[in-house]
Amino acid sequence: MKFIVFLVISILLISCKQSKKTHRTQSLLVAEVIMNTVEKKKNTWVFIMAGQSNMAGRGLIEPQDTIPSQRILSINNNGQIIIAKEPLHFYEPSRTGLDCGLAFGKSLLKDIPDSITILVIPTAVGGSSISQWLGDSTYRNVQLFSNFIEKVNIGKKNGVVKGILWHQGESDANENNVSLYKVRLQKLIEKFREVVGINNLPVLIGELGSYSENNNYWSLINEQIESYASTDNNVYVIKTNDLKDQGDKVHFNSIGQRLLGQRFAKAFLGIKH
């Protein structure tokens, strides 16, 4: 009997300890609302989220991140249009967390006509390098560029692609790849625009954070991004040097992700449409 009581108490203590662990999706809104059709295709603005983990999102999802809007849509892993809810990305179930997509959409809604609906489509995969995107490599079970094409086609079917949000570079922040980043970024953005079919498509690029233990190389990636942006009038750089990490020196925390989304929105709203 004493053994049984001890066992029960041990299980309760373990459960309690586990429940106290920070889990990125502890406030996950489970319900999924599928939209059978998207009304007024021309009034649906489509944005593609691409890159690696800081675009895919690793922040803690909190209650404020689960409040949906009928005017902000996304897709599920079956390619169906749904009312957007965090996490938007679904490619890495064990790693998923808060990204900047819903914050981006909510910020846009404040300054665009009420007739416009936002469709935010996720394609980012954590850990992917820019050469893997260029080479259409399969990474974490996702064929990166083919998946991008597939998701762009979903976007074009349901609305008008207005821009790409890109955040990537951590995997290229090393001696062998950093000097090649500008050229590779230019090639990739050219391919993105070719797929979408708009030569002057706005591409908004978030810089890497300033908190890394590998900060010298991260800074060099940011210099490459800035250098390329100076040659392309339709590329807009989003500053992130004041954003904080979530304690791992790699990923933006929840506040950082929300601010990143707001800054992407501000940059887009500054573009003449």
Structure tokens at 77: 């892993």
* Inter-CA distances, 49 with 78, 139, 141, Å: 17, 17, 18
Q: What is the pLDDT of residues 80-132, one digit of tens each?
A: 999 999 999 999 999 999 999 999 999 999 999 999 999 999 999 999 999 99
Q: What are 135-180's pLDDT values in tens digits?
A: 999 999 999 999 999 999 999 999 999 999 999 999 999 999 999 9
Please report which helix (H) or strand (E) contains residue 144, including its range: helix 144-158
**How large is the C-alpha radius of gyration of the chain?**
20
**Are the CB atoms for 204 and 219 separated by under 8 Å?**
no
**What's the topology of domain 34-269?**
Rossmann fold (3.40.50)
Side-chain half-sphere exposure of 137, counting CA atoms within 13 A: 12
CA distances from 160 to 156, 197, 256, 273 (A): 6, 11, 28, 13
Is the pTM above the cut of 0.85?
Answer: yes
- Half-sphere exposure at residue 76, Cβ-oriented, CA atoms within 13 angstroms: 12
